[in-house]
Amino acid sequence: MTTVSFDFDSLTPKERYKLLIGTVIPRPVALVTTRSPSGQANAGAFSFFNVLTHDPAILALGVEYKPDGTPKDTARNILDTGEFTVHIADYALVDQMEICSIKFAPEVDELELAGLETAAGETVRSPRILAAPAALECTLLQSIPVSPARVIVLGQVKKMFLRESLLDPATMYIDQEAFDAIGRLGGYLYARQGDQFERVTPTPEAFFTTTG
């Protein structure tokens, strides 16, 4: 099987971006809400996002700055207030998520434009989107400036809200198919969770027993 290789030090940022978003797939989409110190609500969608650990519960969010080098509203609000709420976007929220991705001015309320009903945060000041299947209220644990134009935000989950119909309370398992979360692919492509399969990792003893 023939392969090609790339020296990332010799690539342009756009070339690295294309290769990374086309190979690290699917990426979960974080629909993030924040409030500015003055109280202005903001929402933005990010796919450079994932959970890093459960003990403590830490999420990572990568945010690029604006072309002029100033922070986007989400990053600025998180750094200024130390609070944010991550919503996992499902297929039903795709249109509203896209509106929240538009580069509006800071004074524009994306939540209002998208017609998203919210509730006040319980452990943070950022609003919670009621239509989202899951919401995680976070406080800023650490910010890592990786370049003048990018910052990685680590948030500690303080409280989770989950659509009740998705949870089996006896097992704490979540119905992944009913969740219908979307994932970001390369370019303008997204994926849904319709095609699933299960594999159970065996113990070493079971592995050697099976393989002889």
Tokens of 189: 């492509």
pLDDT of 212 > 70? The answer is no
User: What's the CATH number where 206 sits?
Assistant: 2.30.110.10
At which residue do the structure tokens 């830490």 appear? 58
Q: What is the pLDDT of residue 120?
A: 97
Residue 5 lies in a domain: no
pLDDT of 64 > 70? The answer is yes
Measure CA 158 to chain center. 16
Residue 6 lies in a domain: no
Residue 139 lies in a domain: yes
Residue 130, number of CB atoms within 10 A of its CB: 13
Domain ranges, residue 119: 12-211
Total of domains in the chain: 1
Tokens of 139: 């406080």
Residue 1 lies in a domain: no
The model carries a pTM of 0.93
pLDDT tens for each residue of 75-117: 999 999 999 999 999 999 999 999 999 888 888 899 999 999 9
The H or E element containing residue 168 is strand 167-168
Residue 199 lies in a domain: yes
Q: What is the pLDDT of residue 149?
A: 85
